[in-house]
Amino acid sequence: MISETIVIDIVDGQAVVTSKGFTGAACLKATADIEKALGHKTSDTPTAEMRTTAATVKTGAGQ
Amino acid sequence: MSHVGTVDCFVTDLADAAAGGEACGFELRQNQRSYTWYGQYVGDSQLAPGHDPATFGTCEHVLRLKDHREGDYEIGLVPRVDGEPGWELLYDSWGPGSRIEARAGQRLAKLKDEIAAAASERVLRRQGYRVTRTVNAETGAIQVRGTR
């Protein structure tokens, strides 16, 4: 079983929140509370892993 | 799936301010409505965006050095100017403010990082994650990791 991991890198009053190992869009939900607790979200970028998975889902839906 | 989000850190829970302050040698004084500073804005420093000098010195809570002595300045927790819930940290870096920066870092960087780390750990534990924290000895950067 793949574990779910959330990593928060903090320096100079700014945090980068990275999620790994989640199924579907669960990563967004899992990190939302952390981002809310930290303050003001300035950007949100899917990683290559997320883009690949999203593309696969989209292709499957069209079949 | 995975994603990366970038967040500008504020104080959103007083427990985080207390924990981050403790790590840097400050105590949280809840409901103290004023913080000590020079007392008059003389235009010799850049204003924090959105803040009115007429309100300097007023706040909702205070972080004070645990070894506070007469003449020390304090850090005020003031409502966020963007209207979101939570507080910003304001202080005067002039003169006695150097004692604040000696503990909290320039522009309170170390204190803000400790508060953010406390917030991260609090939420991760609430969500059932195993939490570890590491600090880069060279840069001071903090990494909080949650796994489940």
- A43 and B6 within 8 Å at the Cβ level: the answer is yes
Question: In terms of Cα–Cα distance, which of B114, B105, B106, B107 is closest to B133?
Answer: B114
Residue B38 has what pLDDT?
A: 92
CA distance to B41, B78, B95, B106, B137, per residue, from B56 (Å): 8, 9, 17, 19, 35
Split at pLDDT 50, 70, 90, the class of A48 is low
In angstroms, the separation between the Cα of residue A58 and the nearest Cα of chain B is: 14
Residue A57 pLDDT > 50, yes or no? no
Q: What residues of chain A lie within 8 A of the CB of B117, using their CB?
A: 8, 10
**Residue B29 in contact with partner chain A when CB distance is under 8 A:** no
Q: How remote is the C-alpha of B71 from its chain's centroid?
A: 21
Residue B43 has what pLDDT?
A: 78
**Residue B134 in contact with partner chain A when CB distance is under 8 A:** no
| Residue B131: other Cβ atoms inside 10 A | 17
- B147 and A30 within 8 Å at the Cβ level: the answer is no
Residue A27 has what pLDDT?
A: 80
Q: Which residues of chain B have pLDDT under 70?
A: 1-3
CA distance to A1, B50, B61, B100, per residue, from B54 (Å): 58, 12, 18, 22
Question: In terms of Cα–Cα distance, which of B40, B23, B2, B4 is closest to B116?
Answer: B23
Residue A55 has what pLDDT?
A: 33
In angstroms, the separation between the Cα of residue A61 and the nearest Cα of chain B is: 17
What is the secondary structure of A28-61 as a DSSP string? Answer: HHHHHHHHHHHEEEEEEEE-HHHHHHHHHHHHHH
pTM assigned to the model: 0.87
What is the secondary structure of B8-50 as a DSSP string? Answer: EE-B--HHHHHHHHHHHTEEEEET--B--S-SS--S-SPPPTT
